[in-house]
Amino acid sequence: MGTPKTVLVTGASSGIGRALAVELARRGAHVMAAARREPELTKLCAEIAASGGKASFTVCDVADPKAAAELVRSTDRELGSLDMVISNAGVGGSTHSARLDVESVSRMIDINVRGAIAPLVAAIPIMLAQKHGQLVGVSSLAGRRALPTAAAYNATKAALSTFLETLRMDLDPAGIKVTDVQPGFVSTDMTAKNEFRMPFIWTPEKAATFVVDRLERAPRIIAFPLPLDLLTRFARHLPYAIHSWATRQLAGNR
């Protein structure tokens, strides 16, 4: 398949999305970088241009579905095609269920679910018309099974992974590839706030290289790092009582 020529990356102003944009541009793609913070996007595009790559940016809040759909259509117009959409924008955060409030949960759903899904859905007719394309969602290993104090985050990532799996079933016969990226811990602004231990944490650059290397083969899932991939696979089959006890011990019994 090779490196895509035209890619939209949401959440490209920092962390994993920024590193993916840099890596894809380094391999020759014209990248449209989207997020809310314009100064970070300007810096990213200047950095890519300085190293001989091609990048443009659009300021967009993906939690607004109309803006997210327009982002996809304008990217297709500006870049002349849309080979890949990476729906990466997302927010984290943990709250004990005793202190949950519906507004913050809804806000997380708006960004991590509606905001992840809207660009993918908007890209489908474009990719069907051009008879190729790859839809990529950045979900999380956290979507595989519930973890303490992470009801909202875990649920948003489980929703995104399930959504992507059906997209793959439906769209594969039409030549549209769908990949679910499931990272473990990556050192970004999102995880900088975490006070708990984050085993096997990767840099965004290491994560981006690992992901882009594999995207060319369009696998169903790209999960990393291997120890946490294996641990979370195993955890899916544990009885609830054991899983609950073990994860609460690891989380310091919160």
Best CA proximity match to 4, nearest among 215, 168, 165, 219? 215
- Give the chain's length: 254
Binding residues for ligand NAP, total number by CB under 6 A = 32
Q: Is 240 a catalytic residue?
A: no
Give the SS3 label for residue 138: strand
Give the SS3 label for residue 190: helix
List the alpha helices (DSSP H) in 5-150.
15-26, 38-50, 65-79, 102-109, 115-130
Quick check: 15 binds ligand NAP (CB under 6 A)?
A: yes
Query: Binding to ligand NAP (CB under 6 A): which residues in 127-166?
Result: 138, 140
List the alpha helices (DSSP H) in 64-217.
65-79, 102-109, 115-130, 151-171, 189-192, 204-215
> Based on CB atoms, which residue is closest to ligand NAP, 85 or 91?
91
Query: Binding to ligand NAP (CB under 6 A): which residues in 21-60?
Result: 35-37, 40, 60
Query: Of 57, 153, 163, 202, which is the active-site residue?
Result: 153
Q: Exposed/middle/buried for 193, CB within 10 Å: 0-12, 13-18, 19+?
A: exposed
Query: Rounded to the nearest whole angstrom, what is the least distance from the CB of residue 204 to ligand NAP in the complex?
Result: 6
| Residue from the set 189, 197, 203, 249 that interacts with ligand NAP by CB under 6 A | 189
From 11-19, 165-173, 217-225, 234-242, span contacting ligand NAP (CB under 6 A)? 11-19
| Residue from the set 6, 13, 161, 232 that interacts with ligand NAP by CB under 6 A | 13
Distance, in Å, from the CA atom of 6 to the CA atom of 134, rounded to the nearest integer, reads 11
User: Beta strand 176-183 with 30-35: parallel, antiparallel or unpaired?
Assistant: unpaired
Query: Rounded to the nearest whole angstrom, what is the least distance from the CB of residue 10 to ligand NAP in the complex?
Result: 6
Quick check: 188 binds ligand NAP (CB under 6 A)?
A: yes
Quick check: 183 binds ligand NAP (CB under 6 A)?
A: yes
Query: Rounded to the nearest whole angstrom, what is the least distance from the CB of residue 67 to ligand NAP in the complex?
Result: 9
Token pair 């500006």: residue = 78
Strand partners, 59: 35
Quick check: 79 binds ligand NAP (CB under 6 A)?
A: no
Quick check: 91 binds ligand NAP (CB under 6 A)?
A: yes
Residues that are catalytic: 153
Contact residues toward ligand NAP (CB under 6 A) are 10-17, 35-37, 40, 60-63, 88-92, 111, 115, 138, 140, 183, 185-186, 188-191
